[in-house]
Amino acid sequence: MMHRTQAATRPVSARLAGTSSATRPLRALVAVIGVAALMGCARSGDRAFSNAAVTARPAVVSTDPVVIFASQAQPGASTRLALADGRTAQVRLVRSYNAASGRECRELRVDAGMAERARLVCAAPEGGWVEARPLLRGGGSARP
C-alpha cells in the first residue's frame, strides 16, 4: 500500500541507465581529459626514450686480464693469467651475484705468489665490466 507522500521507487539499475542531460557533458569532459592524459604519457615516454638513446655512452672495454676473465667465467672457474704489472697469478672466480644496485658483480681471488687478494668486478650500466671497490674490509666476502 502506498501513501500519497511516497513516490514510486525504481530499481537502481534503471536509475543508472537513464542519465540526465546535465551529466552527459560532464562524462564527455572526463573522457576527453582521460584520452589527453594517455596521449601525453605516450609522448613523454617516446621523448624520454629518444633522449636516453642520444645520451647513451659506449660500452666500457677493459684491457685488464682479470676483468676480462671475470666477464667470461662461471663461478668456480680458475686460470693462470699474466697480470697488468707483468706478474703471473692464479685467478679464481669465487661467486657471482646481483648487487643492491641491480648490477651483476663477480668476486675473484687473485693469488700472486705470497699474497692473495680479493677483487670485485661489476657490470657497467653502459655495457662492459669494470672493477668495483669492495664494501667490506678484507675483500668483500661476508662469509665466516
Of residues 130 and 84, which shows the higher confidence score? 130
Clarify whether residues 123 and 70 are in a common domain. Answer: yes
pLDDT in tens, 85-129: 888 999 999 999 999 889 999 999 999 888 888 999 999 988 899
Is 26 part of a structural domain of the chain? yes
Q: Let me know whether 69 and 98 are in one domain.
A: yes
Would 116 be classed as within a structural domain? Answer: yes
Same domain, 116 and 71: yes
30 and 81 both lie in a single domain: no
Q: Is residue 79 part of a domain?
A: yes
Same domain, 78 and 128: yes
Q: Quote the CA–CA distance of 23 and 111 in Å, as a whole number.
A: 78
* Shared domain check, 74 and 50: no
Contact 94, 141 (CB under 8 A): yes
Q: Is 118 within the bounds of a domain? A: yes
One DSSP character per residue, the chain reads ---TTPPPP--HHHHHHSPPTTHHHHHHHHHHHHHHHHHHHHHHHHHHHHHHHHHPPPPB----HHHHHHHHPPTT-EEEEE-TTS-EEEEEEEEEEE-TTS-EEEEEEEEETTEEEEEEEEE-TTSBEEEE--SSTTSS----
Is the residue at 42 inside a domain? yes
Q: Is residue 108 part of a domain?
A: yes
- Total domains in the chain come to 2
> Are 115 and 73 contained in the same domain?
yes
The verdict on residue 110 lying in a domain is yes
Q: Is residue 2 part of a domain?
A: no
Q: The domain containing residue 104 runs over which residues?
A: 65-132
Q: Are residues 69 and 128 in the same domain?
A: yes
70 and 114 co-located in one domain: yes
CA-to-CA distance for 107 and 139, rounded, in angstroms? 9
- Joined grid coordinates for residue 65: 686480464
Q: In what order do the strands lie in the sheet with 88-98?
A: 78-82, 88-98, 104-112, 115-123, 129-132
Answer for the pair 122, 129: CB distance below 8 angstroms, yes or no.
Answer: yes
pLDDT of 3 over the 70 cut: no
* Residues above pLDDT 70, as percent of the chain: 57
